[in-house]
Amino acid sequence: MSIKIDEPLLESVVEPDSPDTAGKTSGANTATEPKQGALRSPALWLTVAPLVVVIGWALFPSLFSGFDPITGVPAHKLQEPSAQHWFGTDHLGRDVFARVVHGTSQTLLTAGLAVLIGLIAGTGLGLLAATAGRAADAVTMRLIDVLLAVPGFLISLIIVTAFEPGPVSLGIGVGIASIASFARVVRSEVLRVRSLDYVEAAFMNGGTYWSVVFKHILPNSCGPVLALLAVDLGVAILAISGLGFLGFGSPPPTPEWGLLIAEGRQYLASAWWLTTLPGAVIVAVVILLAGLGRHLHKIFKF
Amino acid sequence: MAAYIARRIGQALLVIWLAYTLVFLAVQLLPNDPVTIFLSADAAASPETIAAMKAQYGYDQPLLVQYFSQLTGLFRGDFGYSLASGQPVADRIGAVVGSTLILASSAFVTAVVFALIVVASATLIRITWLKRLIINLPPLFAAVPVFWLGLVLLQVLSIQLGVMSLFPDGSFASVAVPVFVLAIHVSAPIAQVLLKSTETVYAQPFIDVLRAKGASPSWIFFRHGLKNAAAPAMTISGITVGTLLAGSVITETVFARAGLGQVVLQSVTAQDVALVQGLVLLTATAFVVVNLVVDLIYPLLDPRILKSGTHGAPRALAA
Amino acid sequence: MSNGDEATTLLDIRDLSVHYGSGENTVFAGIKLNLKLKKGEIVALVGESGSGKSTLSKAIIGLLPEAARVSGGTISLAGENLLGLSQKQLESIRGRRIGMIPQDPGASLDPVKTIGSQVSEVFRLHRQGPKRSKAELRSESIRLLAMVGVDRPEYRLGQYPHELSGGLKQRVLIAIAFALGPELLIADEPTSALDVTVQQTILEVFTNLAREHGTAVVFVTHDLAVATDIADRIVVMQQGRIREDRPVRAILTAPEHPYTAMLLAEATPDGNRSPDAKRHSGAPAVPAIEVQGLHKVYGHGKAEHRAVQGVSFAVRPGTTFALVGESGSGKSTTARMVMRLLDPTAGSVKIHGEDVTNVRGSGKRDLWRGLQMVYQNPDSALDPRHTVSQIVSEPLANYKFGTKAERALRVSELLDSVNLPSRMAGLSTRELSGGQRQRVAIARALALGAKTLVLDEALSALDVLTQAQILALLEDLQINHGLSYLFISHDLHVVERISHDVGVMRRGELVEIGPTAKVFGAPQSEYTQLLLDSNPGHLLRELARA
């Protein structure tokens, strides 16, 4: 068994046919357009701006919400969303928006840890597979198959079972699960760039192994990896909130996005906002990250 | 052909063995053995109790003996014993897996149908705004947490509209809604990959040749495009085994259904490493078998695979 | 000239305009195009990339890319305006009354369907009369494949495209195009992806069928020589406009538009322009490149593939030696062994008298100071993230040549020597045209003062007129700097023009070697003779001789 697929979100749209496809090199002006266009496009900034706000929530939560996320005002419990409480209040009278804002750092840190593990281990494995010869490639690829064969969900479960539920266990579990995708993208990108004529030419122009790697191979293969970074952050947020929902993340009363929704579940009948609105935030963030991934892929595409 | 099948089966066995070895090593790397972890919740456990239980489950044997006895057990369908109940893992899982399998397989079939509808309409519809809308559905599906979609549907359908009950009662809605929720989740990657590979196929000159022959768009899509684009979508479908399992556990929890979800939650709460280990091996085996089947279907879709001996051919399309 | 009798006019295009994009970014691919074809007439559309020739041909069959818009004009087939038809009506015309032969046979057949099903598909798409049985479809398919000269047609029906050679695939596509006896065929560069000998036979099959069936043909090509060999009339296009539209002989003997004259000058063999013959004689000098008994074998046992077998030649200093051959002949493998990018299985390579067959590591670095390579595709040979000056100064920086200011000076010197203005130093390669990019690649190759260049199909990715400019540059550089070239090419026309000596390769072996004039004038081997006979431009040569 061997598994090879293209990353679902990463490969960008096929370029439209140029007006005259006689297999000749295209003119100069058409080639410059995509890059500058991508940087200037309002769609990119519409994607980036809200994500910057979310990062703001994580770094300076008090700036975005004046309410205390842990202790509520019992008199104000289970209020519907209003101008004062945007996302309403929960059973203890805590402002739900404040809990979402204060929970951001927890969720993002856990997801960040996961992505970092995936990036570092995956890049290492991918580079090894692509540069250390055929035997290393075969062994590494089988290892990646194994990582794919054991669902990340179960890897997280083993770790949570053996240690204790919590963000670090979750981050490690989800991170191990994302190693495979990073390894595959890094491997295929390095293989692609390495076979290009300009890399060979760089050797012929007196480049040493490391100078060529740093001057040509890494800069030209980083685009898809950066894009995967963004997309995978979204995937990790989803996985972590799912495990948080099952109760394997931070214990209450820490605000964490998945836990918020799990807590709201008991009030499904009386307070729809407790589950619906925090969930909508998760959906929005994950979509934005996927969009950012597509933009990054376009910008760094050569 | 025989060589191809033999190679694929060999690789599948290799992956199962590697997965087993990695999980075994991972369990050894834990700060404590499974019995100690299991009994750590129980403050009164005396060293004698621990030792007795270790002996009962064979954790007092030398590592190599444990490794090989568990490995040979694997091929007899023995996935170890649950520490909490003392039952074989296979029995424990077998007792509940039926309902999960039904949920997962109906969700998978629905997901494939969703993906086909999305891709067919995205390819054949000529109204630009509608096409764009459809193309953006899979990324949206991919971003929706399963548990949240389930809760929102419960909220709307059972509390606001009152058309389904909060707990499973055998009604059509209480069966169909969980399947729908899980199918949305699983269809996203399949639809995305199928869309992408269809796009790649449509950039090929042979599509223009077909149009020049006078073929209609639907003729081209159903008789040529789909078959050409299917291989990567099959691969991703094979990989969704893991997604299906995680999604099933969460869906079962949301809709209070019996099944694997309960066992998973109990084993984690009871810190029953042996049961989780068994679960992982069972899932990995299921994953490998499903992907082996996918691999064996490939040559029927694309005759070039047998020649090249790898999956290189469908990927070469992208060039 | 083309205004025939209304009754015999098959295709009548009037004031056709096509554009891409909108607003500021509008690009006009065709401007007020007028073209008439009589029944059975073969017309060649000739032009460079971006001239609008493909746009025009795709507009006729209604296969413009989605981004393209027809902004005006009519296309009438036997009096009926195709632009006014519905999608369904067009589908019934395509494949039945208008056929197409595509550019790249390799990717133009569905890879997962058998040849048989793809041939008989036309009959299933266009049901004429009662439904035909499977056996009837099969025998009809066999007849078609036999008609285009496919060997063992019955056996081929069950094969998949990847099991056929490029030439066979193109024959199958021609069979499909002729299946329903169309009135008009669009052939879009149908042979540009094929080897020259295959091109010749495919063109023969194709034109014979068109003449027999009385099919009118719009033949799109960048190669004026091919156009003159097969067409009745030539339409020259440039920048989206039709520059000239006249019968072949008229256009060849007296081109009216200056652009046509330029194209014609490039396509016409001209003995006076071949390299200076005086340099042939002289004292025997140390060869720039000397190759002895070179072998390259891949794989073992059954899978063994002999890519290069016993090739020996020498490149005299200050001259050009060309290796000519079709794809798979081993010429590029030989070039890569000379560059020491590949290890030869046997044989020796000497550069400027020094045996470099076994150099490794720093030895290779030293070798590459004096021996450089220029690639076929300048797009992939230049790092897209670097500016022109970064690219040209990279070797200088790697060998720690002078100070930063000295390097900048050297870069502008080098750019000057390849006729690029030094203001281009700061540009990214994406802002350059294909020809400019190839000049940058040449400048980089010369940066450390290399005296010998290996040019691996260095002109093949360029348009005809750009090719001519780069050729002139290479000749100047050779004379001014005493450079020696090993020139790898499949293009006999270019080889005849630039090289002093030539070696003809076939299936890994050197079948003929000698001075260019001799090899081209009186070929000794049958294969060289075949290559020369297959070289398009018979009419041009005839006229040039006259």
> Tens of pLDDT along C374-396?
998 888 899 988 999 999 999 99
State the Cα angle at B38 between B259 and B47, rounded to 5°: 155
d(CA C451, CA C456): 16
The pLDDT value given to residue B11 = 84
Picking from C486, C420, C433, the residue whose alpha carbon sits closest to that of residue C462 is C433
Picking from C452, C532, C466, the residue whose alpha carbon sits closest to that of residue C496 is C532
Q: What percent of chain B has pLDDT over 70?
A: 93
Q: Mean of the pLDDT values across residues B80-90?
A: 76
The pLDDT value given to residue A38 = 57
The pLDDT value given to residue C116 = 93
Q: Which of A148-157, B303-312, C255-264, C307-316 has the lowest mean pLDDT?
A: B303-312
Grade residue A169 by pLDDT with cuts at 50, 70 and 90. Answer: confident
CA C54 to chain CA mean position, Å: 15
Q: Is the confidence at residue B318, as pLDDT, over 50? A: no
d(CA B80, CA A163): 21
The pLDDT value given to residue C232 = 93
User: Is C381 or A271 the better-scoring residue by pLDDT?
Assistant: C381
**Domain C12-22+30-267, CATH among 3.40.50.300, 3.30.470.20, 3.30.360.10, 3.40.190.10:** 3.40.50.300
For strands C27-38 and C320-324, give the pairing: unpaired
Q: Which two tokens stand for residue B253?
A: 């929890």
Q: Which chains touch B (3 or more CB pairs under 8 A)?
A: A, C
On the 0-12 / 13-18 / 19+ scale of CB atoms within 10 A, B278 is: buried
- Highest averaged pLDDT of the listed ranges B85-94, B273-282, C401-410: C401-410
For strands C452-456 and C509-515, give the pairing: unpaired
Tell me the HSE value of C197 on the side-chain side, using a 13 A CA sphere: 13
Residue window 144-183, chain C: list those with CB within 8 Å of chain B: 160, 162, 173, 176
pTM: 0.83
Q: What residues contact C240, with CB distance under 8 A and at least 6 apart?
A: C28, C29, C30, C31, C51, C52, C55
> Tens of pLDDT along A79-100?
777 777 777 777 777 887 888 8
B208 touching C (Cβ < 8 Å): yes
Amino acid at C352: H
Output B314-318 pairs: Cβ under 8 A, ≥24 positions apart: B314/B197, B314/B231, B314/B232, B315/A4, B315/A6, B315/B232, B317/B197, B317/B200, B317/B201, B317/B204, B317/B228, B317/C111, B318/A6, B318/A11, B318/B200
The pLDDT value given to residue C6 = 57
Q: How many residues does chain B have?
A: 319
- Chain B: closest CA distance from residue C110 (Å): 6
The pLDDT value given to residue C399 = 86
Q: Is the confidence at residue B308, as pLDDT, over 60? A: no
Q: Mean of the pLDDT values across residues C200-226?
A: 91
> Tens of pLDDT along A247-270?
887 777 777 787 888 888 888 777
Packing angle, helices A96-131 and A42-59, rounded to 10: 110
The pLDDT value given to residue A223 = 83
d(CA A115, CA C460): 45
User: Is B311 or A280 the better-scoring residue by pLDDT?
Assistant: A280
The pLDDT value given to residue C58 = 92
The pLDDT value given to residue C185 = 94
d(CA A162, CA B35): 11
Grade residue A29 by pLDDT with cuts at 50, 70 and 90. Answer: very low
Whether the bond between C269 and the residue before it is cis, its omega within 30 degrees of 0, is: no
State the Cα angle at B91 between B85 and B93, rounded to 5°: 90
A274 vs B contacts (CB less than 8 Å): none
Q: Mean of the pLDDT values across residues C412-427?
A: 90
Q: CA distances (Å), B186 to each of A243, B21, B143, B236, C328, in order?
A: 17, 29, 11, 10, 46
The pLDDT value given to residue A4 = 43
C399 vs A contacts (CB less than 8 Å): 206
d(CA A88, CA A98): 10
C173 vs B contacts (CB less than 8 Å): 209
d(CA B280, CA B282): 5
Q: Do C385 and A22 touch (CB under 8 A)?
A: no
- Alpha helices (H) in chain A, listed in sequence order: 28-40, 42-59, 61-64, 96-131, 134-149, 152-162, 167-194, 197-204, 209-212, 218-245, 257-264, 273-299
Q: Mean of the pLDDT values across residues C159-171?
A: 90
For strands C289-298 and C346-351, give the pairing: antiparallel
Task: Tell me which chain A residue has its CA closest to the CA of residue C64.
Answer: A19
Mean pLDDT of chain C: 88
d(CA B290, CA C325): 49
Best mutation target, C112, C118, C189, to test chain B (most B CBs within 10 A) = C112
Q: Mean of the pLDDT values across residues B14-21?
A: 84
Q: Do A302 and C385 touch (CB under 8 A)?
A: yes
Grade residue B42 by pLDDT with cuts at 50, 70 and 90. Answer: low
d(CA C165, CA C198): 10
Grade residue C89 by pLDDT with cuts at 50, 70 and 90. Answer: very high
The pLDDT value given to residue A12 = 32
B205 touching C (Cβ < 8 Å): yes
Task: Tell me which chain B residue has its CA closest to the CA of residue C114.
Answer: B303
d(CA C57, CA C70): 13
Q: Do B12 and A1 touch (CB under 8 A)?
A: yes
Q: Mean of the pLDDT values across residues B110-138?
A: 92
Q: Is the confidence at residue A26, as pLDDT, over 50? A: no
C450 touching A (Cβ < 8 Å): no
* C371-374, strands of its sheet edge to edge: C371-374, C452-456, C484-489, C320-324, C501-506, C509-515
The pLDDT value given to residue B49 = 75
Q: Is the confidence at residue C176, as pLDDT, over 90? A: yes
| Nearest CB to B213; choose among C94, C103, C186 | C94
Q: Mean of the pLDDT values across residues A48-55?
A: 85
Q: Is the confidence at residue B312, as pLDDT, over 50? A: no
State the Cα angle at B163 between B162 and B169, rounded to 5°: 105
B228 vs C contacts (CB less than 8 Å): 110-112
| Domains present along chain A, CATH in parentheses | 88-299 (1.10.3720.10)
Grade residue C534 by pLDDT with cuts at 50, 70 and 90. Answer: confident
User: Is A22 or B180 the better-scoring residue by pLDDT?
Assistant: B180
C184 vs B contacts (CB less than 8 Å): none
Q: Mean of the pLDDT values across residues C430-445?
A: 90
C373 touching A (Cβ < 8 Å): yes
The residues that bridge with B131 in the sheet, in sequence order, are none
Q: Is the confidence at residue C216, as pLDDT, over 90? A: yes
> Tens of pLDDT along C179-199?
999 999 999 988 888 888 888
Count the helix, strand and coil residues of chain B and give each as a percent rounded to the nearest 5: 80, 0, 20
The pLDDT value given to residue A11 = 34
Which residue is associated with the tokens 């296979």? B90
The pLDDT value given to residue A299 = 79
Residue A211: what are its φ and ψ, rounded to 5°? -65, -40
Mean pLDDT of chain A: 77
A196 vs C contacts (CB less than 8 Å): 380
Q: Which of A34-43, B234-243, B297-306, C223-232 has the lowest mean pLDDT?
A: A34-43
Q: Mean of the pLDDT values across residues B95-122?
A: 91
User: Is B299 or C334 the better-scoring residue by pLDDT?
Assistant: C334
Q: Start-end ranges of CATH 3.40.50.300 in chain C?
A: 12-22+30-267, 285-383+450-545
Q: Which two tokens stand for residue A262?
A: 């799990």
The pLDDT value given to residue C7 = 62
State the Cα angle at A69 between A63 and A73, rounded to 5°: 115
The pLDDT value given to residue B21 = 84
Would you say domain C285-383+450-545 falls under CATH 3.40.50.300? yes
On the 0-12 / 13-18 / 19+ scale of CB atoms within 10 A, C514 is: middle
Q: Is the confidence at residue C446, as pLDDT, over 60? A: yes
The pLDDT value given to residue A35 = 47
Rounded to 10 degrees, what is the CA torsion of C205, C210, C211, C215? Answer: 180
Q: What is the DSSP letter of B225?
A: I
Q: Do C162 and B307 touch (CB under 8 A)?
A: yes
Q: Which two tokens stand for residue C541?
A: 């040569």
Q: Mean of the pLDDT values across residues C45-66?
A: 89
Q: Is the confidence at residue C282, as pLDDT, over 70? A: no
Grade residue B307 by pLDDT with cuts at 50, 70 and 90. Answer: low
